[in-house]
Amino acid sequence: MTASPTAERPSLRSQRLNQVTHAPHSKLDALVKAHAPFETQANFARFVVAQYLFQSELVALYNDAELIKIIPDLADRCRADAAKLDLADLDTEVPAPVAGAVNNPTQAEALGWLFVSEGSKLGAAFLIKRAVGLGLSETFGARHLGEPAGGRADGWKRFTRTLDGLEFSAEEEAAAEKAAVDAFVRFTVLLEQAYASAPELA
């Protein structure tokens, strides 16, 4: 995540996606931190609300039969259930859906969204260490940040290798990149919504 805005276009699709999402990622990282999610369990619970909302909007993509032909373990990668269990651990209600979820994306768009969701498991390695300080773990309250079966690095490498090997038209390429940026915009909306809907934290 160190590409500069003037860098040349990398040859691998995953690296190009990294490049176009570098600025949105930095902004989101700062926004997450601004909400001090690791200060109290109540603050962290709002972060989990955002994660749950984001993951639940992607359930149809993770379970898409055509995408599973490309990424056989895709359904197992979904973290909506883990985030829902975290909400229960944190005595937090399952939030109502928020209007504006991704709807019926093309395959290239879906892969852009999934790139962001899967990539977020890398940052989760840092986040779970902080969650431990709140008495949480990958079996209680911070399940959705846990290490995926087979390991984070391996899961990410397999995902990007597959993504990088797909034939895309120029239009699909652009659509995937736009979708990845849209995914960051969407997470930002959900994060703001999650904290705004917690009056006790206002």
Q: How far apart are CA 60 and CA 173, in angstroms?
A: 22
Q: How far is the CB of 6 from ligand HEM (least distance, A)?
A: 19
Task: Considering the complex, state which of residue 127 and residue 194 has its C-beta at the smaller distance from ligand HEM.
Answer: 127
Q: How far is the CB of 55 from ligand HEM (least distance, A)?
A: 10
Look-up: residue for tokens 């979708």? 179
Q: How far is the CB of 29 from ligand HEM (least distance, A)?
A: 4
Q: Pick from 93, 78, 61: which is nearest to 143 by CA? A: 78
The least CB distance from residue 192 to ligand HEM, in Å, is 13
Identify which of residues 1 and 88 has a Cβ nearer to ligand HEM in the complex.
Answer: 1
Nearest CA to 166 out of 69, 64, 75, 28 is that of: 69
d(CA 144, CA 51): 8
Q: Is 199 exposed, middle or buried (0-12, 13-18, 19+ CB in 10 A)?
A: exposed
Q: Taking the complex as a whole, how short is the minimal distance between the CB of residue 92 and ligand HEM, in angstroms?
A: 18
Kindly tell me which of 30 and 65 has the beta carbon lying closer to ligand HEM.
Answer: 30
Show the CA angle centred on residue 179, arms to residues 58 and 76, nearest 5°: 30
What's the Cα-to-Cα distance from 40 to each of 113, 135, 146, 152, rounded to whole Å? 30, 10, 19, 26
Taking the complex as a whole, the smallest distance from the CB of residue 146 to ligand HEM amounts, in Å, to 15
Site residues, ligand HEM (CB under 6 A): 1, 18, 21, 25, 28-29, 32, 116, 119-120, 122-123, 126-127, 187
1 or 94: CB nearest ligand HEM:
1
| Helical ranges in the chain per DSSP H | 13-20, 22-34, 41-57, 59-62, 65-70, 74-77, 80-89, 107-132, 152-165, 170-196
